Structure 1
Amino acid sequence: MAGKPFSFGTDRWDPTHRFETSWLLSPWVLFLFRALFSLYAFFTTIFISVWNCEFSPIGCLESEERFSYFTVLTFWGLGFYFLVAAVHTFTYARSGVPLLDRFPRPLQALHSAFYSTVVTYPFIVTIVYWGVLYTGPWFPVVFDGWSNISQHMLNSVFALFEIIFPRTDPMPPVHMLWLILVLALYLAVAYITHARWGFYPYSFLDPSKQHAFVAAYVFGIAIGALIVFGVVYGLIALRKWITETKLGKHGKFAKQSPRRIGADEEEMVDDQIPYRTILEE
C-alpha cells in the first residue's frame, strides 16, 4: 500500500470484525461507550456555540469563527467518528454483520483512514495547546475551564480509548501521507480565515509576527504528526501483542456472528487462528 497511496486494497475486508469488537468489552458495551463519547462531543460543541451566541461580546460571530480552529474541527471529527463507529458496532452486536461490511470498498478504506485521524490528531491538539498556546493562569471562569479541558484533554482520552480497547490492527503506513495532506489543507483554511475575518486562528501562523518561524512551526507540526503516528502505531501493536499473543484474548464477539462454510471455514486468519475458533471463543 505504501507504493499505491490511491489503492483501496483487494484483500478481504476485516474478516474478524476488528473495528467493531474489543478484546475486553462485549460488542454491546463497546457500542455504549462509543455512543456516549459521540453524544458528549456533539453536546460540547453545540453547547459552546450556543453559549458564545448568548454571552460573547461579539455574539454568534464567535461561534462562526470557531470553525476556523483545528481544535474545533477535530472535535467535530471525533463526534462523527464515534457516531459512525457506534452505528457499525450496534449493527454488528445486533445481527453479527456490521453495516460497514455492506459498504463499498472505498468507504471501508475511508473508515480505516478516519480511524487513523482520531487516534492521531487529538494528541497533536493536546500537545500544541498545552505546550505552545496555553500560558496560564488557570481559567477563572468555570465554563472556560470545562470547554478547554473537553476540547484539549478529553479529546486525547477518547483517542486513547480507541487505541486500547478495540481490536483494531496498527494503521497502514500509507495513512501518514493523508494525515499530512489534511494538515496542509487546514493550513489553507487558516489563511482563508485571515482573508475573510482578518485574524489567524493560531498566532504561530501569523507571518507578520513570526516571520520565517512560520515555516518552522508548520514543518515542526508535520514532523510531530508523523512521530505521533509512529507512537500510536507502536501502542496498537503492543496492545495486540499483549492481549492476543500473551494473554490469549482474541476478542468478544456477537453471538449472531455467521460461521463461514466450505474452504473459508478452515482459512487461517489473525495469528493463524481458524475463523471458526475465533467466533466461538
Structure 2
Amino acid sequence: MAGQAFRFGTDRWDPTHRFETSWLLSPWLLFLCRALICLYVFTTIIFVLAWQCAHAITGCTASQAQFSYFTSLTYWGIGFYFLAASMHTFTYARSGVPLLDRLPRPLQALHSALYSTIIVYPFIVTIVYWGLLFSGSWFTEVFAGWSNISQHGLNSAFALFELVVPRTDMPPAVHMAWLILVLALYLALAYVTKASKGFYPYDFLDPDKQGALVAAYVFGIAVGCIIVFGFAWGAIWLRKYVTETKLGKHGKFANKGHGYGAGEDMEMAKPQGSTTA
C-alpha cells in the first residue's frame, strides 16, 4: 500500500463512466439529483452562517469558528463533491464525454479520493455526534433541530445515495491511509484551534477533562474510520453484485459519445480501483 500511495495509475481512466452513470437513473436524472443535493448543502451552510451572525449573543463568532469543526469541514466537502459530480454528470449527459475525462490524471485521482471521503466521513460524523456528543434532549428551537438534522443526519443520507445509486466502483484500499491521514491533520487543527482561539472544538479532545481517554477516543475514531471504509467498500460490492450480476442492470448511458451498452463488456478495463491519490 505504501508503494501505491503516490501513484496515479497508468490504466485507462474510468472507461465505462462509472462516476457519471447509474444503474437506476438516466445521466440527466443523476445530474439533477446531485445538483439538488449540492444546492441544499450550500443553502444550509449559508443560512446557518447568516442565522448565527444574526441571532447568536456573540454575533458572528460562532460562524468564524466554523472551520474548526470536523462536522463543518465534512459538510463543505459534501457540497463541493456534489458540485463537481453534478458538473461531470452534466457534461457527460450533454456530450457523452464528461469533463472529468479531460482533466489531468492527478485531478482524476483526487476526485476518486474525494469520493472516498464522501462515503466514509459523513457516517463517522453522524455516529460520533448522536452517540457521543448529543445531550439526549431534543432541541427546543426549530433552527437548532433542522441544522443538526441537516449536518448530522442528512449528511449520511447523501453519502448513502452515492453508495447505492451511481455505478461507482469500490475505492482502492490505499485510500484508507489517506482517510486516516486527513483525520490526523484534523486532530492537529483541533489543537491549533485551542492555541489560537482558546477552545477545543470537541470536549473529548480536551486532556484536562478527559485525561488518558483522549488517546482512546482518537484511536477509536481511527479504527471506526477503517470499519466504515470496509462497510462502504462492501456496500458498493454488494450493489454491483445485485444490480449488475444478478439483475443485469449494467447502467443507463448517454446517447452520445462513449457509453457502453448492456451487452458489452463493462469491465474491459479497471475503471477506478487502481487509481490512487
**What secondary structure, in the 3-state scheme, does the structure 1 residue paired with 2:19 have?**
helix
Q: Distance in 2 between matches of 1:55 and 1:251?
A: 48
Partner of 1:167: 167
1:198-253 alpha-carbon deviations (Å, 9 max, x no partner): 11000000011111111110010000000000011000000000000000000000
Q: Does 1:55 align with 2:59?
A: no
Partner of 1:278: none
Q: TM-score normalized by structure 2? A: 0.94
CA apart distance, 1:120: 0.2
Q: Does 1:20 align with 2:4?
A: no
Q: Distance in 2 between matches of 1:268 and 1:90?
A: 24
Larger RCO (CA under 8 A, 6+ residues apart): 2
Q: Distance in 2 between matches of 1:124 and 1:100?
A: 28
**What secondary structure, in the 3-state scheme, does the structure 2 residue paired with 1:255 have?**
coil
Is the Cα–Cα contact under 8 Å of residues 2 and 173 in structure 1 kept in the other structure? Answer: no
Partner of 2:106: 106
CA apart distance, 1:268: 4.6
Q: Higher helix proportion, which one?
A: 1
Partner of 1:231: 231
Aligned-partner residue type, residue 20 of structure 1 = E
| CA distance 1:259–1:198, shift in 2 (3 Å) | closer
Partner of 1:86: 86
Q: Distance in 2 between matches of 1:236 and 1:116?
A: 11
Q: Distance in 1 between matches of 2:81 and 2:152?
A: 17
Q: Any residues of structure 2 matched to 1:1-281 within 5 Å, and which?
A: 3-258=3-258, 268-270=265-267
Q: Which runs of 4+ in 1 moved over 6 A?
A: none
Q: Distance in 2 between matches of 1:29 and 1:256?
A: 16
Q: TM-score normalized by structure 1? A: 0.92
CA apart distance, 1:259: 6.9
CA apart distance, 1:73: 0.5
Aligned-partner residue type, residue 150 of structure 2 = S
CA apart distance, 1:257: 2.3
Aligned length: 267
CA apart distance, 1:66: 1.6
| CA distance 1:141–1:248, shift in 2 (3 Å) | same
**What secondary structure, in the 3-state scheme, does the structure 1 residue paired with 2:11 have?**
coil
Unaligned runs of 5+ residues in structure 2 are 270-277
Percent identity reads: 70
Q: Distance in 1 between matches of 2:204 and 2:266?
A: 48
